[in-house]
Structure 1
Amino acid sequence: MSLRLYFKPSSFRGALHDLDEDGQVTFKGNAKAFVRTYSFLAALLPYTTAAWEKLSIFLNFLIPKLPAPKEEDLSRGILETIDMDSYRAEKKAVVKIQLADADAELEPVPVGAAGGKPEPELERLSNIVKAFNDQFGNINWADADRVHRLITEELPPLVAADAAYQNALKNSDKQNARIESDKALGRVLVKMMKTHSDVFKQYSDNMGFQRWMQDTVFDLTYRDEEKR
C-alpha cells in the first residue's frame, strides 16, 4: 500500500490497525526502504522535494515505534520437560567437591595487566579488505588495491569531517548519526566521481555494495568517535 496514505497522523492510527500482521510487516519494510532511498537521493540531488522531506522525517520518528511481529513462545513446555531428579543429583555432586574447612594458602595476585588484548588496527582493516574481496572481488575493478585504500584510508576521515555528521555525533543518537553518515558518504563520493568512477558506479547501481560501504564507513567513523 502507498506510504502516502499513512502520512496524515489523523488517518495513520486507524489504517495501521486495519492491517493484518503481514500487512504491517510489509508497511514497515516499505517505510525503511523509503527512508534509505531518500537519504541517498537527498545527498546527490541539487534540490529536495518538500513532501518527501516531511515524509522522511515523519517515518524516521515512526519506524522505531512500529510494533514488531508477534513470535511464538518457544519456551512453552520447557519447565515440564526438566528432569528434576537429575538436577538434584548434580547439585549433590557439587557439594562433595567443595573445599574442606581448613587453613590454606592463596597464590599472590598477578601484578600484570588484566583483560584481553584489543584487536589491532591493522587487523581490523585487513578484515575489511578480506570482506571486500570475498563479496566484491569478482567485480572488474580498475585497481582493486586503490579501492581498498579509498575505503579504509581516504573515505572515513572525509566522512568524519562532515559538519552535519559531526553535529549528529555530538548532539543526537546513533540512528540519526547513521543517517547523516550515509548522506555524508554520498556527498563525498559525488566529489570523487571523476577520479573513482568505478566505485561511484557500483555504489549507485549495486545496492549490496552500497549497503556494505555505508556499514563499513559508519563502523569506522562511529567507533573512532566512541574512543574519544
Structure 2
Amino acid sequence: EVQQNIDMESYRIQETSRGRIALERKVGLLDPIGTKARHGTAPEELEPLSRIIAELNERFGLNLGPEHRVTLGQMMEKLDADAALDASARANTRENVRLTFDTKVEHVIQEIVEKNFDLYKRITDDRAFGEAIKNFLFDQYLRAHRQAEELIKRGESKTLEFKATLRWNLREDRRDDTVITHAVLRTIAAFLNTEGGDLLIGVADDGAIVGIEADRLESDDQFMRHLAQVARNGLGDRASTCIDPKTQIVQGKTVCVVSCQRSPEPVLLKWKGMEVDAGGDFFIRSGPGTVRLPPESASHYIRTRFPAASTSPPVPYA
C-alpha cells in the first residue's frame, strides 16, 4: 500500500560517501564491499570517470559531484553492453565507429532524464558541454574495445599510426631518444590537435610486429613510465592527461596501444631542440600523415578548432 503512494521510478541510486565504516559493537573497521565494474574491472580502474568529472568542472566552471560520476558510469555500462557498437569498434575505422557511437549515445542520454535531470538538461542545453561529454565517453569506450590485432589489419589512417619503437633506432641498432622519440611525440601531438587517434608502438609501418621489447627497457612497466615521462616533458602535463597507453600481446610480442583523445586546448611540442619554432611546434593529422603547421596557418587553425583558446593562443602563435 505504501508503494502505491510512492513514485519508485523517480528514485535513483546516488553516491553520498565512500570509505571505511567503524563497527559499533566490536573493535575494528569494515572495508567497503568491492563492486563489480564493467568487464569485471576493479573499482579503482574507473578512475578515468573521476578524471572526466574533474576536467569538466575545470573547463566549464561547474561543481559536478559523485552523483554525476555514478550517472556517467551507468551510461558507460549501457554503451559497453551494446553488442552492435562493440562489433563496430572492432571492425571499423575510428571515424566510422564515431558515427555509430553518436547514434547510440543519444539514446543513452535520453535514458538518464529520470535519474539525473540536471546532467541531462546540461548536456542537451549546452552544446559545448554536451559535445565534451560525448567526446570523453567515446574516447573512454574505445580504450576498452579496441584490440591491437584488429587495428593492425586496417593499416594506417588519419586516426591510426604505427611506430616500431619509442627510443631505439633499429636501422643503426642504437638508442636514439632525440629523433625516434620525437617522431612518436609528433604523432601524439597531431592526434591531440585533430580528432584523436590510436598510436601503436611496437608495430612497423608495414604492420609487422616488432614489439616494445625492441626498445630494450627492463620491463613493460618501465616502458610505460618512460613513455609517460617523455610525454610530459615534450607535450606538457595537461596534454599528457589526454593519452592512455596500455599493452597488449600480439603474436607473442608486446604492443603498446596509445589512445589519444581530442585535446580541449592546443598542444605544442618541444623536444631536445628538434622544434623549428622556439615556443614549440604545432602538428595536426592530414590523411594518414602528420604535418607541422607554420605559425600563420597554426593561428588560423587554433582559432577554428580551439575557439576558447583563440583569445590567448600559445606562443609562438600569438
- TM-score interval (norm. to shorter): 0.3 to 0.5
TM value normalised by structure 1: 0.41
Query: Which entry has the higher C-alpha Rg, 1 or 2?
Result: 1
> Which structure is higher in strand share?
2
> Which structure is higher in helix share?
1
Structure with greater contact order relative to length (CA < 8 Å, sep ≥ 6): 1
TM value normalised by structure 2: 0.30
